[in-house]
Structure formats: structure tokens, C-alpha cells
Amino acid sequence: MADNLKSQLFSGVFYTALAKYSGVVISLVVAGVLARLLSPDDFGIVAIATVIIAFFNLFTDMGVSPAIVQHKTLTREELSDIFSFTVWTGIGISVLFFAASWLIAGYYNSDILRTLCQLLSVNLFFASATIVPGALFYRNKEFKFIAVRSFVIQISAGAAAVTAALCGAGLYALIINPIVSGILIFAISYQRYPQRLRLTLGLTVLRKIFSYSAYQFLFNVINYFSRNLDKLLIGKYMGMSDLGYYEKSYRLMMLPLQNITQVITPVMHPIFSDFQDDKRKLATSYERILRFLAFIGLPLSVLLFFTAEEVTLIIFGDQWLPSVPVFRILSLSVGIQIILSSSGSIFQAAGDTKSLFVCGLFSSALNVAGMLLGIFYFGTLTAVASCIAVTFTVNFAQCYWQMYRVTFRRSVLPFVRQLLSPMAVSLLMAAILLPIQYATEGINIFLTIIVKSIVSFTIFGGYIQVTREYDLLGKIRSMAGKGK
């Protein structure tokens, strides 16, 4: 069983990583081109539209997708009923969002925002229609196909966005990527798993999965506010330019988070759901992944803190210099967010979406309080970023206490032990990078980022070799021996 789990996990992570990391280059190129062609105001306006449509998008899924992965006995007829429900509700929500575009534009005093929202309403329909066929890929563990689909869509949508920007489409180029992506995901998914559309809302089968999906849906709603309220308030009370700078910093912070955890977490729920009746096995299996994520996330957080200026200027250019202090503060939370982002899959796999909802409720309340404090009391972007970094840290502690004490019903000490060694190497890196930071001020940014990266990787590699966390030298000798 252990070998089978390892094989499934490795296969899923390998194919997901292959598509994800090849797509990183594409996304960075697209972001770099658009950042040089468009203004912070443009990014601020599109950020508002994206955040608002994300809220409406919550109501297209309502926790149905993970419920399909978890409930492996759903029949073909029941899946058709769920598909019909998602399509009819998707049409209704798309129309509602289109109609709400006038109110949204009026609230932010932006006519262009109305047009953006109306165009993006198309995405809501395709997102809802993709839920059932998309979930079946994960339930059937077809990670290779998912990876190929993701890669093809990233290239197609990214090329369309850059072409539009170069042709003078302006800020409209920023919404071409999500629209093209939504249409292509639906077309490919539906072709693979076609569903029958019926004149029904499928209430019978919805009652079957309600206890699981309801808490998942409630978590998604409160997590949305926890993640997006800052952008909505900054855009309204601090201006679109400030929102543009903040949004760029936030996206940079999310880049490693998305490109590290999103190659692992999509695989975790389908595979670990096989252990939903054996919590001890689920916990011990997860702890190996948790330790791995901690060894990646915590040292990376330190490196990003000390290379914030170089990363921002190299990717986006000089006009985004005001984003640097915000990104530097947000980078402090990257490590714990990389670890924390895997927790949802474990709550789902354990069938304990109620605990997931409780964690989300606590997180949302704390994050909202931090955002309000930063925006209305201090009134600066760095204050907002500082408050958010603190609330993420508190949320991290609460979430894992909930997981171990309530879901796993065991001590939190095994969890703490997984973090000690990653924290030690991170502190060691920080102690050595601090004097280097002062010594390299005013030097070419390409040179400083190379120096800091080499020093960081040397410290990290030396630490895991000396502590026997991983035998790097042994692995190199083994590979050299095979090459002879």
C-alpha cells in the first residue's frame, strides 16, 4: 500500500510539475510584457473586476467539485444531474453578474469596469459547465492528461494576451487570458467526459452530497473574503494606482506559492481520500509532505525577503519600484502559506469539511480585521502587508491545531517536529544574507541576485547534507556511477 501511494503521488506530482513549471516561463514572459505595456491603473481596474467575478464564481461550484472526488460511488445518471444543476445555475449567475456590472462600475466610478465585467461574465458560464467533467479527471487520477491540458491552455491564452497587448488592446489584453482559458478548459474537458444536459436541478443527488459540499462551499465563501477584501478596499479608498502596486506585490508573493503547492495539492485529495477511514495513516503520510513543503517554503521565504527589489525590477521594470517594500513584507508569509495551502486537501480527504470551515471562519475574521486596521488606521500599503503577514501566521497555528486535535485526534508534537529543522536552516540563511544585503547595496541587481541565490543554495545544500536530511553527495556519486 505504501509503495502504491508513493507511486501514485510521484506520478501525479511529476506530470503536474512538468506542465506547471514549463508554464512558469510562459506566465513570467506574459506578465513581464504586459507590465511594460500597461500602467498600474490598468492592472488596478482589472484586479477589481477579477476579484468580483471570483466571488460570483463561488456560487457556480458550491463545493460540488471536491464532493465528486470524495464520493466515488456516484453513478453516471447522478453525475448528469449534477452537471445539469451546474449549467443552469451558471447561466443564472452569468446573467446576474452582467446585470450587476452597472452597480459595480458606479461604486468605483469607472465606466470601463462595467465593460470588463460584462465581458468576463462569459467565464462564469464556462466555469460552471466545466465542474463535473473537470472533477472526474481528478477522481480518476488522470494527472498526465490534466498536465497536458494545462500546458496547451497556458501557451494558447498567454500568446493571445501578448498579441492583443502588442496590437494596442490596452487593458482589455488583461482579460483575454482568463476568457480564452475558460473556453478551452471547458472544450477539452467536455470532449473527454461528455455529460447529458437535462431539464432538472438534480436536487436528489445534491442532497446526497450536501453534508460534504455545504461546509466546503461555506469555506470557499469566507476564504474569498479573507483573500480578496484587501484589494476591494484598497481600490476604493486608496486609489487604483496603489491597488496596482499592491496587486503586483501580491501576485509576486503568490507566484512561488502557486508554482510549488499547486503541483502537489491537486494530487493530494484524490490520493489521500483512499485513507479517509484511517486517520492515523492519513496523518503519518501527510507529515512527510508537510516536512518537504517546510524545507522548500521557509528557506524560500528568507531568500525572497532579501531579493525583493531584484525580483520586482527584473520581472516588471522600474515603474513598479513602489511595490518592493510591500513584496518584501508579504514574502515573510510565503513559507507558512506554502505549508498551509496543503491543509485543505487533508481536511477534504478526511471528510472533515466542517473543520475546514471552522479554520476558514477564524482565518477570515482575523484577516479582515488586519486589513481594516492597515487600510483605515495606518493608511499605507506597507501597513496592510504587515497586518496580513501577521494574520497569516496566527491562522497557520490555529489551522494545524484544529487538524491535529480535532480531525486526527492526536498530539500536535509530530507536526511541530516537522518544522524545527526547516526553521533552523532558514534562520541560518537569514543570518548570513543580512550582512550581504548591506554589502551589495548599489551594485548591479543581476549580480546581487546571483550572489544571494548562490549563497542561499550553498547554505541550504550544506545543511541538509550535514544533518543527513538528504544525502546529496551520495545521490551525485550514484548518478555519476550510473553514467560511467
Of 194, 222, 250, which one is at a domain's C-terminal end? 222
pTM for the model: 0.68
In this structure, are 253 and 159 located in the same domain?
Answer: no
Q: Say whether both 58 and 203 belong to one domain.
A: yes
∠ Cα 188 64 127 (to 5°): 40
Q: Is the residue at 230 inside a domain?
A: no
Q: What is the pLDDT of residue 247?
A: 80
Give the count of beta carbons closer than 10 Å to the beta carbon of residue 123: 24
Residue 147 to residue 130: CA distance in whole angstroms:
16
257-305 tens-digit pLDDT: 766 776 677 677 777 777 777 788 888 888 888 898 999 899 999 999 9
Rounded Cα–Cα distance for residues 303 and 421 (Å): 17
Mean pLDDT of 36-54: 76
What is the pLDDT averaged over residues 28-34? 69
SS3 assignment, position 387: helix
Only one residue has cell 503536474, namely 16
Instruction: Note whether 182 and 246 are same-domain residues.
Output: no
pLDDT of residue 1: 46
Cα–chain center distance at 145: 20
Q: Is residue 227 part of a domain?
A: no
How many angstroms separate the CA atoms of 439 and 337, rounded? Answer: 30
pLDDT, residue 427, reads 95
Residue 54's pLDDT is what? Answer: 77
The pLDDT confidence band at residue 22, using thresholds 50, 70 and 90, is: low
| Alpha carbon 90 to its chain's center | 23
Q: Are 66 and 213 in contact (CB under 8 A)?
A: yes
| Same-domain status, 312 and 182 | no
Same domain, 290 and 429: yes
Could you tell me which residue, 86 or 255, shows the higher pLDDT? Answer: 86
| Residue that the C-alpha cell 477579477 belongs to | 50
- pLDDT, one tens digit per residue, over 370-413 is 988 988 888 888 999 999 899 999 999 999 999 999 988 889 99
255 and 183 belong to one structural domain: no
Same domain, 129 and 266: no
Q: Is the pLDDT reported for residue 73 higher than 80?
A: no
Distance CA 77, CA 92 (A): 23
Is the same domain home to 313 and 459?
A: yes
How many domains, the chain?
2
**CA–CA separation, 123 vs 350, rounded Å?**
31
The yes-or-no verdict on residue 312 having pLDDT over 70 is yes
Say yes or no: 201 and 95 in one domain.
yes
Instruction: Report yes or no on 163 lying in a domain.
Output: yes
Closest to 268 (Cα-Cα) out of 345, 356, 370, 178: 345
Residue 180 lies in a domain: yes
One domain for residues 96 and 211? yes
Mean pLDDT of the chain, nearest integer = 82
Query: Per the structure block, which three cell numbers stand in for 10?
Result: 510521484
* pLDDT 10s digits, 124-164: 899 888 988 888 888 887 777 877 888 788 888 888 888 88
pLDDT at 475: 61
Residue 232 is assigned to a structural domain of this protein: no
- Pair (45, 184) in one structural domain: yes
Is the pLDDT at 178 greater than 80? The verdict is yes
Distance of CA 50 to the CA centre of its chain: 15
Runs of H (alpha helix) within 38-142: 40-61, 64-70, 76-108, 111-129, 131-139
**Res 284: pLDDT:** 87
Domain residue limits at 39: 1-222
Q: Measured at the alpha carbon of residue 351, what is the angle toward residues 350 and 353, in degrees to the nearest 5?
A: 110
Query: pLDDT value at position 286?
Result: 87
Q: Give domain status of residue 233, yes or no.
A: no
Same domain, 270 and 160: no
